[in-house]
Chains A and B, each alone.
Chain A
């Protein structure tokens, strides 16, 4: 996410990074570019002005000039100010002292309230809460059905009174229903509305009075332009929102809204939504996003993700196998599976420091199907073949290719990768040190990453193998 802003900001700052001494001119040029990068990313004009002024002031100040690496120091200042702009530390949802906790979702049409409601319900369920969804959007055709379908998917009850009922009444009765059912979190999905629509804004105020919410979350489309400020401000004025959910951040938006909304309202961004698939919303970490924007990676999130999905027992077992060189194709597959569990690979990759700056990885499209192919190939082998791939002669390879519906070439590729990996393991366990080059090769062939280069749409690295390959889009030059 936010690659566009990330690229242009890094470009603006790259000239500074290496400088031993900073002339005021250098800072001026860099700041001009930073300003344009932020404006092009839809960050509000006023916010940009303040931001650039603050960075400039600090950049020409003492702390930078006396430092040994002034260029790096400026990058650090930009990082700190970016983090600050987005709200500093992360913020959790405020829970009611006496359940149910009431969460009211508001926002413009098409911001993604209904999807966010379902995702939020899932987040609560993950933390052992019992959420109840309330369908109070009686205006948009089929909005209630949408919430019902989503509720069914994630197995969370949905309360509705149909489209003829008054939304305020729906909220009130929803709350009673929550108490009756013993649900401890009430998530109310409301109709999208323009912030200048007096009548509908009154309705929200009435709702707020009828079922005092513990959280009023404004759902904002990350692609929103300069108007994001006004939207946030007017909703805040009318309802005193307590936080923001930023949606559609998985697009190639430069996410100016993320940088603007907090500055405009002082309300923290609490969650971000990535993708239309119903998965729990992610907690928003300003520092980590700032780090990602500046290409410094987000290792913390990666580790957390790994901790959530990796099976520690299995990992230990795997390590043992690696050490004793008993690593088989079955283990290889297991490892791939674990990597896949982390989530879409292109998003995972972006969390690694420096990866964002790799030219070859720009605009990558990780072909998730490739993993399925590997899985199918390994599944088509006999037990013996999996334990000892060296028996794989031409006729066996042909059989496996037919059995798994791929070409012999793909089977060869998988076997080659596996062999490389085994060799590397031998060397590693043999105690020899790896040169830088070998280490890179080793890293590449490790687990999922091993196949990455050929699973990516990167012409320089992989050779095209499948029909699923598409030319990747040209990047717009700035």
Chain B
């Protein structure tokens, strides 16, 4: 199965449940104001958010005027184009260290799938022949360390860990030392889930970041915010808060398959200027894929029967 087909399959439910509604909406309808209004509503109900929904509809309206579109059915490619524009700034490439180990830091609120994401990425990098080291920086949640160790076993890489309640910055420090001496290429650092409005927990993250930056030049090379694809508009607040404290450089959107609508990807990229790097399209070990704006827009907009 090609990568694009994987995208299509992963986003099947989003397409059917929400954007499929647009297709039906467009069918045999006249191009009038009420159509645009309904379109706006469908977008909002896909978690695209009020602001970006208005922006997209406005964009489609302009394109329709420019291209003298008269049939509602012809709006689908225009919406696809508008979405691509909204995601135009997105850059999925991952930064790596010029020399020495590369360090990626994973942050996010509770229960979004940080540890699982790290497990899948570790597997992916190991497959590419890189030497991966995991840092069990979630020293708060019960059994989080065991969870990461289980993933380490599956992927076949080492895990640096302390005990529950230890200082996560110290874990990250030890991981960097271990990576240097063992010649690891990539360090993936797990952190405890935290709600972004808890100042002291956010300060802890800033400290981890500081420790990383001190020991490795340019580290962390990416700070990835993991966001649950089912999250609504709160994802924007999350992105904002984490960006401020740990300078988030990219996004991982998990659970985008099946139920998730994932519309929140659009406002985050457009309004917050944070790039989506990876998307979780399934529950398997191989189901984490690099994000592609064009594919995302196409997979969501283009109906199945074409």
Contact = CB atoms under 8 A, between A and B. Distances in A.
Interface of A: 4, 36, 39-42, 44-45, 108-112, 140-150, 153, 194-197, 221, 223-228, 230-231, 248, 250-254, 256-257, 276, 365, 457, 468, 470, 472-473, 476
A291 B110 CA distance: 28
Contact of B110 (A110, A146, A226): A110
Contacts of A230: 17, 259
A194 B111 contact: no
A157 to B, nearest CB: 16
Interface stretch (B56-64, B78-86, B143-151, B173-181): B143-151
User: Max chain A CB contacts within 10 Å: which of B41, B197, B244?
Assistant: B197
A149 B143 contact: yes
A271 B75 CA distance: 45
Secondary structure at the B interface, as helix, strand, loop or mixed, is loop
A225 B232 contact: yes
Contacts of B144: 142, 146
Contacts of B142: 145-147, 149-150, 153
A441 B258 CA distance: 57
A294 B41 CA distance: 25
B113 A276 contact: no
Contacts of A42: 47, 232-234
B230 A224 contact: yes
Contact of B258 (A142, A149, A197, A224): A197
Interface of B: 13, 17, 41, 44-47, 49-50, 109-113, 140-147, 149-151, 164, 193, 195-197, 199-200, 203, 228, 230-237, 240-241, 244, 255, 257-261, 263-264
26 contacts: A39-B50, A40-B49, A108-B230, A109-B111, A110-B112, A140-B147, A142-B147, A144-B143, A146-B143, A146-B146, A149-B164, A150-B142, A195-B259, A223-B231, A223-B234, A224-B230, A225-B230, A225-B231, A226-B45, A226-B232, A230-B17, A250-B197, A251-B196, A276-B140, A457-B199, A468-B200
For the complex of A and B, the 8 pairs showing the least CB-CB separation, nearest first, are A225-B232, A110-B111, A42-B232, A141-B150, A149-B142, A145-B143, A146-B143, A142-B146
A470 B203 contact: yes
B153 to A, nearest CB: 9
Contacts of B140: 276
Contact of A223 (B109, B141, B150, B261): B109
A361 B144 CA distance: 35
A111 B258 CA distance: 16
Given A141-B151, A149-B142, A226-B45, A231 B261 contact: no
